[in-house]
Amino acid sequence: MRLRFSRALATALAKATALAKATALAPATAFAPAAVVGPAAFIAAQAVTVADAHAQSRPPVETGPPNAPGQSPAFAAQTRAPQPDDATAATGEIVARDLPRLWALEFLPDRRMLVTAKDGAMHIVTQDGHVGPEIAGVPDVDPRGQGGLLDVALDPNFAENGLVYFSFSQPRGDGVNGTAVARARLELRQGNTGSLSDVTVIFEQTPGYAGTRHYGSRLAFAQDGTLFVTVGERSDQPIRDQAQDLASGLGKVFRINTDGSIPADNPFANTPGAQPAIWSYGHRNIQSAVVAQDGTLWTVEHGARGGDELNAPLPGRNYGWPVVTYGVSYGGQPIGRGVTAAEGTEQPVYYWDPVIAPSGMDQYRGDAFPAWQGHFLIGGLRTQAVVVVDVEDGRVVTEEWVPMAMRVRDVKVGPDGLVYAVTETNTSSRIVKLTPGSGS
């Protein structure tokens, strides 16, 4: 079904537009909350532009007070970048609804979608919304809390070898679990289903922990065929401190070969006592990652109250958590040393306070949204939006939100150049396709 802009809202928006032009104010963000009701919320609320847009940058989309008002960015536009002068209008179309609660989406070469369901199932969804039966052979997962069947990635040569990789919270007995990555051969079957064979665990985050939070995780292929695996630091004190410990697998980005072996040029491959799969450390909970078209790894990690971070993790570098971070604890207290910068730790390229609560991300490429070419599209659980950021020369220059009216769990650019978002309630998910224009 196609969702349309309601006449009443269209009238209201037209009035707001007229008002904006009359007063040279930017009403977009003020108007956004009203738009987040029902289908019309899919219209990018930022569709209203300032009359003399080039005279002054539009204000940031985030207008709420920061959780850590005493903190300041390390450089200009490290947070609250302006919205682009010309907002992009997008219309949401529900491709599939009433799905189990999903975690990740990938496109198969034939344009069908392979999705993971948090409770431990994998399905194929057709472009016309048909959901196939469960794919057989998915191993047991621990679905409590934030755990479950998590990300999925296709081998770069999937069309030839049928290999898929997936991450999950692996039950390890007595309530202990840990993030793991498995490789399997996906044999497709008639009826939009299939089975996994030769399921092999190629990575296990250690130590395990008896908790239900901060598993990460995303899988992203580097251009050299190695696989980046992002994880979390299991949230609790004191174990989260291991994000700073190279002997521990908590709070890291890893780089592995697809058979689970360690690339010889990993930064700590020859460091005594360090886990050789580590690529970078000092991370909190990375649920968003993509390898950009230029080969750079980009991640977004969850902060606490404030402090979500966009990073381009470099090998061997320390990203600070839980010693150096923006934002404050959920109780409002300082975190770590209560500092936002320190010698030997990397500054985030960008941070959010309040948080967006990142999920999956992708880099836009395609013809449907020319203004988004090369921009990062990041799912926002808290913002209930697709967060679009333009990075130029390593700095964010604009940020806009496309309201989705539901938590966004994953975002992928389809082979058709349209943007596909997985949205969720506490019990179910939808797949929503964004097409250009206001849908009228």
* Cis amide leading into 171 (omega within 30): no
Structural contact between residues 419 and 377, judged by C-beta atoms closer than 8 angstroms = yes
For residue 160, give the DSSP letter.
H
Structural contact between residues 4 and 39, judged by C-beta atoms closer than 8 angstroms = yes
> In whole angstroms, how close is the CB of 307 to Ca ion at the nearest point?
8
Half-sphere exposure of 250 (CA within 13 A, CB side): 25
> In whole angstroms, how close is the CB of 414 to Ca ion at the nearest point?
32
Please identify, among the stretches 119-127, 212-220, 317-325, 388-396, the one whose residues bind Ca ion according to the rule CB under 5 A: 317-325
For residue 259, give the DSSP letter.
T
Burial of 30 (0-12, 13-18, 19+ CB in 10 A): middle
For residue 371, give the DSSP letter.
G
Task: For residue 40, give the 3-state DSSP assignment.
Answer: helix
Q: Pick the closer one to Ca ion by CB: 356 or 421.
A: 356
First CA to last CA across the chain, in angstroms? 14
Which position's Cβ is nearest Ca ion? 320
> In whole angstroms, how close is the CB of 299 to Ca ion at the nearest point?
10
The catalytically annotated residue of 123, 130, 214, 375 is: 214
Q: Pick the closer one to Ca ion by CB: 62 or 301.
A: 301
Please identify, among the stretches 97-105, 263-271, 311-319, 330-338, the one whose residues bind Ca ion according to the rule CB under 5 A: 311-319
Q: Give the number of other CB atoms < 10 A from CB of residue 11.
A: 10
> In whole angstroms, how close is the CB of 77 to Ca ion at the nearest point?
17
Task: Return the residues of window 320-349 that contact Ca ion according to CB under 5 A.
Answer: 320
The residue among 209, 213, 118 whose CA lies nearest residue 172 is 209
> In whole angstroms, how close is the CB of 348 to Ca ion at the nearest point?
5
Give yes or no: 375 in active site. Answer: no
Q: Pick the closer one to Ca ion by CB: 49 or 340.
A: 340
Please identify, among the stretches 61-69, 211-219, 314-322, 374-382, the one whose residues bind Ca ion according to the rule CB under 5 A: 314-322
Per CB under 5 A, the list member of 319, 350, 352, 401 interacting with Ca ion is 319
Q: Pick the closer one to Ca ion by CB: 91 or 230.
A: 230
Q: 7-23 and 28-35 are packed helices; what angle lies between their axes, rounded to 10 degrees?
A: 170
Give the CA dihedral 308, 349, 393, 106, nearest 10 degrees.
Answer: -40
The residue among 12, 44, 31, 15 whose CA lies nearest residue 400 is 44
Tell whether residue 303 is a contact of Ca ion (CB under 5 A).
no
Please identify, among the stretches 20-28, 115-123, 187-195, 316-324, the one whose residues bind Ca ion according to the rule CB under 5 A: 316-324
Q: Pick the closer one to Ca ion by CB: 320 or 358.
A: 320
How many residues bind Ca ion, per CB under 5 A? 2
Residues binding Ca ion (CB under 5 A): 319-320
Supply the residues annotated as catalytic.
Answer: 214
